[in-house]
Chains A and B, each alone.
Chain A
Amino acid sequence: MTTQQAPKVTGGADTIKEIAEYAEFGTLDPGLLLDGAPQMPHLDVEPVTFERAEMIQVFAEIPMGSLQGLIPPALAPTNPSFVSWRGLHLPDTPWGPVTMAETRLVCRAGFRPRVFLVEGYIDNAEAAAEFARGWGFRLRVCDDVKLRRFHDETRLEVVAGGTRALAVRMVEPVPTNGGSFGLNANINFAVTPDGPKLVQAGADYVFHRADLGRPRIDAFEPSAWGRGGVVPVYPVSAVAGQADITFREIKFVSDPVRPALFGTTKIR
């Protein structure tokens, strides 16, 4: 069993004085995200651990230069740019079994690696509401979200409104150490008591099983996710495993329009 290492904490606003004038940031108007945005009545959610959760994470490159228009100004694009799909099957939650799939974009909040949630699908309405209230997850409810593990592959599929929104697989699995997985915290756009914010929703993973394989992207419908525009062009990697996953308490929120380096507030 391995534990995903927490990122090394170094420096902070007091040791960073300036950002280069030419620095590039996202250009997505946060106002366009308000429609259907999760409403968080408070930021005091308690950590919750989901035991023996199945997970899959697949990365693909998206066209260079397309990322800027898909993330808000607080966040910065990376070079190259990536979409990251995460699928979770939580067999035992207070709301019953849950399967969810997220489309996320690799980005930077300050200097830190993060993934911005475009949108997700979930098959449990009660859990969708709790995840939105507690951690700012933007999730649409639909019946057909499947995460299936086989010995030769793990599949994540979403069919929404008759559209095959996502079908990705990890094939040729090789057992590995989950500690090497790139599992960075979500940045979720939500409306908080202080107004629209980017909420950092991190998770800890304690792996019981971890496999590294090859990625396969069988289907992805950009228009089914958020405002569209995410176009995978080059599969990069895929991992899957079983882990005890803890959704952490909320520690940081950021102003969506100021660079996160200076516009981030520590909650606790």
Chain B
Amino acid sequence: MRFGLLFELGGPPHSSRADVKKIYDNALEQIRLADEIGFDHVWAVEHHFSSPHSYSTAPEVFLTAAAVMTKRIRVGHGIVVCVPPINHPAHIAERAAVLDIVSNGRVDIGTGRSNTWLELGGYGAEPHDTKQSWDEYVRALPKMWVDETFSHQGRFFSMPERAIVPKPLQDPHPPLWVAVTSQGTEYDAADRGLGVFGLSIGNYAAQEEKIRNYRKRIRQCEPIGPLVNEQVQIVNFMHCGVDGERASKAGRTMLDTFNHNTAHTVAVKEVYPSPLYQIGGFLPTLRQEALGPGDKSGIPEGLAIGDPDRIISVIKHWENIGVDGMNFVIQAAEVLPHEDVMESLRTFGKYVIPAFKSAEELAAPVGAVVKGR
């Protein structure tokens, strides 16, 4: 089981410039601690125009800062938006390669397509085309990283032959992932040999079926590049404390704040009908699940909130149904005091991580779990 943190970098509405700097500083301090106590991944979202929920508009810059102040933890885009005109694929490849060099080969690249009108409408992107542009982009990225030169004639981008440099440090390239929320996207991931990033939390049984589908399907994949990244990592919420009741209360505050902020963002589906956006997207799905029926602690059963024993039990349940890694949202709009978040991380590191990793594992570098083809 791998553990990661997912940063949205949100703050209260109308955050001042100094407030936003504090959001970034706090997150970087949390990452430094996470690196020391045995977390394996840090991921940053890419959102645009999405305050107060997220100020993470340039994740490659944030992840570079994270990389230079840490030694072991992997740094990942969770996810980079593969939609014109938000990102050009050559630019994605270049930025990822440089980050891979600076981080000494610790990069993961999650891919996706955005689900809010804020972002897609703001950039003048066509929501009907985002699945197709995502597909064109992800098939091009490995070639850009591996081939000496690259040229392309496509629907969403075309370019004459160019040497896309530098190449990433990881040979042949960083692991690729795709955000999976909609039913069936796990097949998109499997068919292309991509890792699954996200998987809405849902109930255990529903996710078990999705994971089983993915594992079965990926055996027949035609990988888009020289690597197959057969992994399933989910996003979850975490707040850990020895006083379970207090931890649950803090976790509930985080969930409610996350829910509030994301609920007031307008999903594509609400205002721009498209068969490609049948559900609200990742954030609404997370929100729905964070609102699900709670157990006696008041926390939905699959969320890693409470005392260490409860969290270990939750994680073991996810592990048993085939999840390889869990990436935790640990803050929402800075509603929890930074020191409480740090203490939650320390408690998680002291009591939970040792239940899943040996001292040797914690000392070893965090490699990419990929299979060559």
Verify if A18 is at the interface (C-beta below 8 Å from B). Answer: yes
Partner of A113, one of B270, B294, B298: B270
Query: 1/0 contact trace for B109-129 toward A, CB 8 Å?
Result: 000000001100100000000
Verify if B278 is at the interface (C-beta below 8 Å from A). Answer: yes
Distance A236 CA – B272 CA, assembled complex (angstroms): 7
Contact A19-B260, Cβ < 8 Å, known A59-B271, A180-B275, A182-B270 = yes
Tell me if A176 and B266 are in contact (CB < 8 A): no
Residue from the set A17, A61, A112, A177 with the largest chain B CB neighbour count within 10 Å: A17
Q: How far is the CB of B123 from chain A (nearest CB, A)?
A: 13
Tell me if A180 and B277 are in contact (CB < 8 A): yes
Tell me if B291 and A15 are in contact (CB < 8 A): yes
Tell me if A20 and B260 are in contact (CB < 8 A): yes
Interface of B is mostly: mixed
Closest to A17 in B: B252
Partner of B117, one of A76, A80, A111, A177: A80
Distance A61 CA – B288 CA, assembled complex (angstroms): 26
Residue from the set B261, B264, B265, B287 with the largest chain A CB neighbour count within 10 Å: B264
Partner of A20, one of B274, B278, B293, B333: B333
Tell me if A18 and B252 are in contact (CB < 8 A): yes
Partner of B12, one of A22, A113, A181: A22
Closest to B13 in A: A22
Which residues of chain A (232-246) have a CB below 8 Å from chain B?
Answer: 234, 236-237, 239
Distance A186 CA – B234 CA, assembled complex (angstroms): 35
Tell me if A108 and B335 are in contact (CB < 8 A): no
Residues from chain B with a CB closer than 8 A to the CB of A184 are 270
Verify if B363 is at the interface (C-beta below 8 Å from A). Answer: no
For A, the interface residue count at a CB cutoff of 8 angstroms equals 40
Partner of B264, one of A18, A82, A108: A108
Tell me if A182 and B256 are in contact (CB < 8 A): no
In addition to A20-B260, A108-B263, A180-B274, 6 A-B residue pairs with Cβ atoms within 8 Å of each other are A11-B293, A15-B291, A18-B252, A18-B256, A22-B12, A212-B273
Footprint of A on B, CB under 8 Å?
Answer: 12-13, 52, 117-118, 121, 252-253, 256-257, 259-261, 263-266, 269-275, 277-278, 287-289, 291-294, 298, 300, 333, 335
3 closest A-B pairs by CB: A11-B291, A111-B263, A10-B288
